[in-house]
Amino acid sequence: MRQIKTDIRSLTYEQLEGFVQSQNLPAFRTEQIFRWLHSGAESFDEMTNLPKSLRKLLDERACIHKTAVYKKLASKQDGTVKYVFELYDGSFVETVVMKYEHGYSVCLSTQVGCRMGCGFCQSTRSGLIRNLEAGEILGQLLAAQRDMSISISNIVLMGIGEPLDNFDNVVSFLKIVNHPKGVNIGYRHISLSTCGLVDGIDKLAKLNFPITLSISLHAPTDEKRSSIMPINKKYNVNSLISACRRYQSKTGRRISFEYSVINGVNDSPDDAKRLFSLLSGIMYHINLIPVNKIENGKYTAPVMKRIESFRNLLCSMGAVCTIRRTLGADISASCGQLRSKYETERRVGN
Ligand code: SAH
């Protein structure tokens, strides 16, 4: 019978220790292998301080899933780089690298597709194909670092997919990327964005990692939110905000609320007032994002003046609120757009 190979980059340090033990290898091999995997090795052959016989054994028992650059687009405006990576099964995911004054930040995908169904989002249009393994979430960061010869210092889980719908793999990813012998990115430099899976928020709070939780709120009432985000029918606005309060009292972390401003849907002065009172008592930051129109989509952004008035009204009431600067507008840096374009191209054989 053919043995199924272990997806070795998806193992936490402790799981790798277990694997090394199961192969009757000396314990010090764990650290060597872990360091190689997380400095971006793509094959066991690259692990030159391991004896050849061990590299051969690893190759027989384990595999490192590939994250191959399928397309790379660099913004001429601001240096943002977008990758479409091809995974071992031919799936595509998108990853964006942004440069800030203090270093590089990467936006990672957590699933191939998404089943949340938000009305303004491209990534969900053809549903969920599959979850990404922890090593595939990490693989995007490693492949980008390797390709650009940079070191990334901040992570946002805000690419394709709903991170809390792939909970266990995302948690393994967080543990692996935070490990001092690996990539070693501090939890305070990591944000996780969710459309509002309340049970997932509670599970995450229990782990008490000091990461930043971002909530894609987008509307202050059930009627409006349900019309653009089907998840609101399962977890309504009040249950979501209560989960945010529980998360904050457990972790002490400020919560970030994302609000994609949509013309005529959620951009009135009344919406701003309701939003403000909804968040009362929470320590937060609101990010306003002009909605990015998707192909054949019915939602468009208001003119900038209207978004500024919305922000000004919120600020005048005492809210902490900014309009997100858009990066990479010339390379479709918002997620999902390139994946679907190349999926279509490949289907029609371009
Ligand atoms: N599923 C997670 C993370 C992925 S989406 C979540 O919902 O948070 C990342 C962010 O982009 C979310 O805030 C999402 O609502 C927003 N988004 C998706 N499509 C968008 C669009 N067309 N315009 C503006 N924001 C969009």
167 and 282 inside one domain? yes
Question: Which tokens go with 71?
Answer: 């397309």
Angle between helices 167-178 and 134-148 (to 10 degrees): 40
Q: Tell me, yes or no, whether 185 lies in a domain.
A: yes
Domain end among 48, 63, 78: 63
196 and 48 inside one domain? no
24 and 146 inside one domain? no
Q: Which residues line ligand 1 (CB under 6 A)?
A: 118, 120-121, 158, 162, 193-195, 216, 258, 260, 289, 291-292, 294, 334
pLDDT tens-digit series, residues 47-104: 999 999 999 999 999 999 999 999 999 998 888 999 999 999 999 999 999 998 889 9
pLDDT at 240: 98
**Mean pLDDT of all residues in the chain?**
94
Q: Is 335 among the catalytic positions? A: yes
140 and 180 inside one domain? yes
106 and 141 inside one domain? yes
Which numbered atom of ligand 1 lies nearest the CA of 116? 1
Q: How many domains does the chain have?
A: 2
pLDDT at 318: 97
In angstroms, the CA 240 to CA 41 distance is 41
Which residues form the domain of 316? 68-348
**pLDDT category, 324, cuts 50, 70, 90?**
confident
In angstroms, the CA 231 to CA 233 distance is 5
141-170 residues labelled b (16+ CB within 10 A) or e (exposed):
bbbbbeebeeebebbbbbbbbbbbbbbebb
Percentage of the chain lying above the pLDDT 70 cut: 95
Percentage of the chain lying above the pLDDT 90 cut: 88
281 and 333 inside one domain? yes
Q: How far is the CA of 238 from the centre of ligand 1 (A)?
A: 20
Q: Is 63 among the catalytic positions? A: no
pLDDT at 348: 64
29 and 135 inside one domain? no
Judge if pTM exceeds 0.85.
yes
Q: Tell me, yes or no, whether 128 lies in a domain.
A: yes
236 and 321 inside one domain? yes
170 and 130 inside one domain? yes
18 and 165 inside one domain? no
**pLDDT category, 335, cuts 50, 70, 90?**
low
Question: Which tokens go with 61?
Answer: 């028992």
Q: Tell me, yes or no, whether 1 lies in a domain.
A: no
Q: Tell me, yes or no, whether 119 lies in a domain.
A: yes
The CATH number for 92's domain is: 3.20.20.70
Does residue 340 have a pLDDT over 80?
A: no
In angstroms, the CA 240 to CA 322 distance is 22
pLDDT at 2: 61
For 77-120, give the DSSP string. Answer: TT--EEEEEE-TTS-EEEEEEEEETTEEEEE---EEE-SS--TT
Q: Determine the Cα angle at 240 with ends 112 and 333, to 5°.
A: 35
210 and 143 inside one domain? yes
Nearest CA to ligand 1 atom 5: 158
Mean pLDDT of 19-38: 98
Q: How far is the CA of 121 from the centre of ligand 1 (A)?
A: 6
41 and 150 inside one domain? no
